[in-house]
Chain A
Amino acid sequence: MAGAFDIVEHYNSLIKEDASISAPVAAVGSLVKLIEKQNATTMLEFMMIARQACDRLKKATDNSISLSAGCDVFLKQMSRLAHAQSVEECRKALIKAGTDFVQGAGRCRDIVAEFGSPFVRDEQTILIHSYSRVIMGLLGRAVTQNKRFRVYITESRPDQSGLRAAAELQRLGVPCEVILDAAVGYIMEKVDMVLVGAEGVVESGGLINKIGTYQLAIIAKAAKKPLYALAESFKFVRLYPLSQYDLPTHRSDLLSFKEKRADETDWQAELSRSNPMLDYTPPGFITLMFTDLGVMTPSGVSDELIKFYLD
């Protein structure tokens, strides 16, 4: 293997260094570092090392969905470049492409914001779920365009990331309120549109996101409010979940009626231990998606994925 270089360590340090970096981008960044350091002599060995590193990365982190999107893009690029004359040539091309990808990734959020900004209008009430950097980008842009709007933010248990979003929006001068996750149905009447981010966008056009997104989407649909999902294209993953339990993050011990002794059970602690962190929202609940490739219908997403992976 690559000797002293530990890809997981590098990945973690990248995430720690820059709070705004996304998992897939950090994954590609680490993979580039890896192939810079290793010195395989045959193409086969070269590809094997990269594949193993991807597997290691996926296993090592709890947030493997969006990370695997980055790994997949990298591996696909590698197989495209396998026609190259020599290993050295392939390595160089891959490093160049990977570095460009990491550098370009920051711009993705701005492009999403640009595509999404006509949808944010004056006097709107927006409901957002949890904390998402790309939503912050869009709303931040709307603020600089002098749009006046109000934002409800779900608290988003168990990590209460909604509070972070609220603090950030408040700093931007946007009137905001944090609501309980259980109050989504209560507040929906007052809302003009719902914005959600995505951990990953899957082949069906649905999305995987922080727990609570699915129920939010169901309520929005029932109330006939538009729900827009925001995602950078490097979050498109090759998965086709048919139910909530098809996600790679699913574990059989989640909410599984384990035998518990009445006197030893701490329900409060049990709560975050046995609850899932992500859920899957089917495409039927999503009005439109704002991505850096443009505004899309959910079915447009599968098109992009097929175009990328099957050409």
Chain B
Amino acid sequence: MESPTSPSSQFSREAAIYVDGFITRLRRGQVVEAKRLAMETVNLVEHVISISRWNDVETLSELIRAVGRKLLIAQPRELLIANVICRLLRMVAEESESVKFVEDGWPAREPVREPPSVSSAKSCETPGMGLGQSGALLTRTFAEQVASQLEVESMTLQGFKNNIRNEIEEYIEELENVEANIAKSALEYIHSNEIILTCGRSRTVEQFLRTAAEKRKFHVIVTETAPTYEGHEQARALADVPNIEVVVIPDSAAFAIMSRVNKVILGTRAVMANGGLVAVSGTHMIAAAARHHSTQVVVCAGPYKYSPWFPSSDDCFNTLESPDAVLPYREGDLVAAVDVVSPRYDYVPPELVDIFVDSTGGHLPSYLYRLLRESCDEARDLSWGIHE
């Protein structure tokens, strides 16, 4: 395996303590819920940024990448961390575009440093040829190029730091409201007297159903989702909503009941770049049953769940849970005699998903790579940590 280009040596000791503290909690399984994990990762990065010393964009990006690498080494199958890191790196790149730093108190004469976006466009006069080479700079005439150079905003480092902080605050806010934003379009998907089927515990789906229930009455069937029985929790959460009638069924009844279901609404842990889901185990079975009955499958997922990676195998992002829930350890004799495997996630291929609903509306699975491109372009930088 390639060694990381820069070890954690650039962290100050204080920052390293924070990162290690977070890693310990990750490993102990104390941060599991998707949104909390995303928010805590953002908070961690924000904290590291604020207590570390950096004077230019390169160092800042490298700092974020270093945090990402450390977290990925600790938890290589956790897609969400990588998603958040990618998004933050993108944020920094966008913020540093057309910005030149000037030192405090000096007239805007000598830029301290060329921002990478300008210096990376080294090929103004002899541009690269071939697909994937940005042509935007070439089609501009020379005069336009000069004009755009003049537009470059001069800014003090402090101002830039403030901007980054504001951007991160905005992102945190976006994360906080993600469920409510997704739920905005709930009425387009759920109609009166429909029978909805869902599985697992998803706060996004819960909010989605609650919002629809403000206006409409409908039934919700929840599969219990053994062996964690998260479905029970979901049912309990929905039980107090007056307009929703909740039914809990065993997982094995999913196929039998599917013929009566109008719509399947699913939450997910992460979404792969091809539109496949990494969702709680049992989801694949439900999606396959839905396909058999031509029932629509709607997936509610915030943009922070969109991962830049393609699934190289069905199990590459899966983890195993303690088998105790399937076969309790007190059955000592049996435990020694059989292998018990309890995977936490399912990979659901994109063909089984009809539509993704996020804060901006509905998307086809085949369109996801496009959405991804808007938030991630650092997939390659981080990918070494994920694949063996």
Contacts and interface: CB of A to CB of B under 8 A. Distances in A.
Contacts of B366: 297, 299
B370 A233 contact: no
Interface residues of B, number: 30
Contact of A296 (B130, B367, B369): B369
B370 A303 contact: yes
A169 B138 CA distance: 43
A294 B129 contact: no
A93 B137 CA distance: 14
B127 interface: yes
A245 interface: no
A311 B126 contact: no
Interface string B213-224: 000000000000
A299 B367 CA distance: 8
Given A296-B369, A297-B366, A308 B126 contact: no
Nearest to A298: B366
The interface size bin for chain A is 35 or more
Contacts of A299: 366-367, 369
Contacts of A234: 130-131
A98 B136 CA distance: 18
A97 interface: yes
B129 A121 contact: no
Contact of B131 (A80, A100, A297, A305): A305
Contacts of B130: 73, 101, 104, 233-234
A83 B141 contact: yes
Contacts of B273: 295, 297
Contact of A100 (B128, B138, B275, B379): B128
A247 interface: no
B127 A80 contact: yes
A80 B387 contact: no
Interface in A79-97: 80-81, 83, 85, 92-93, 96-97
A299 B273 CA distance: 12
B132 interface: yes
A271 interface: no
A167 B176 CA distance: 58
B53 to A, nearest CB: 34
Contact of B136 (A97, A104, A119, A311): A311
Contact of B129 (A85, A101, A297): A101
A118 interface: yes
A299 B274 CA distance: 10
Interface in A134-153: none
Contacts of B380: 294
A288 interface: yes
A242 B367 CA distance: 22
A93 B138 CA distance: 11
Nearest to A111: B380
Interface in B75-129: 125-129
A93, A233, A295, A308 — which one has the most chain B CB atoms within 10 A of its CB? Answer: A295
A155 interface: no
Contact of A311 (B129, B135, B274): B135
A98 B379 contact: no
A178 B121 CA distance: 48
Contacts of A92: 126
A293 B131 contact: yes
A96 B128 CA distance: 9
Interface string A40-75: 000000000000000000000000000000000110
A253 to B, nearest CB: 34
B189 interface: no
B132 A233 contact: yes
Interface string A161-181: 000000000000000000000
A123 B379 CA distance: 27
A77 interface: yes
Contacts of A293: 131-132
Given A294-B380, A311-B135, A118 B312 contact: yes
A307 to B, nearest CB: 8
A121 B312 contact: yes
Nearest to B350: A297
Contacts of A73: 129-131
A106 interface: no
A120 B235 CA distance: 42
A300 interface: yes
A77 B316 CA distance: 41
B128 A101 contact: yes
Contacts of B126: 92-93, 96-97, 100
Contacts of A98: 129
A153 B145 CA distance: 52
Nearest to B140: A83
Contact of A119 (B128, B129, B312, B370): B312
Contacts of A297: 273-275, 366, 369
Nearest to B316: A118
B135 A97 contact: no
Contacts of A236: 131
A73 B366 CA distance: 27
Ranked nearest first, the 6 interchain pairs of A and B with the lowest CB-CB distance are A118-B312, A118-B387, A96-B126, A233-B131, A97-B129, A101-B129
9 contacts: A80-B127, A83-B142, A101-B130, A117-B387, A121-B312, A288-B274, A293-B132, A294-B379, A297-B366
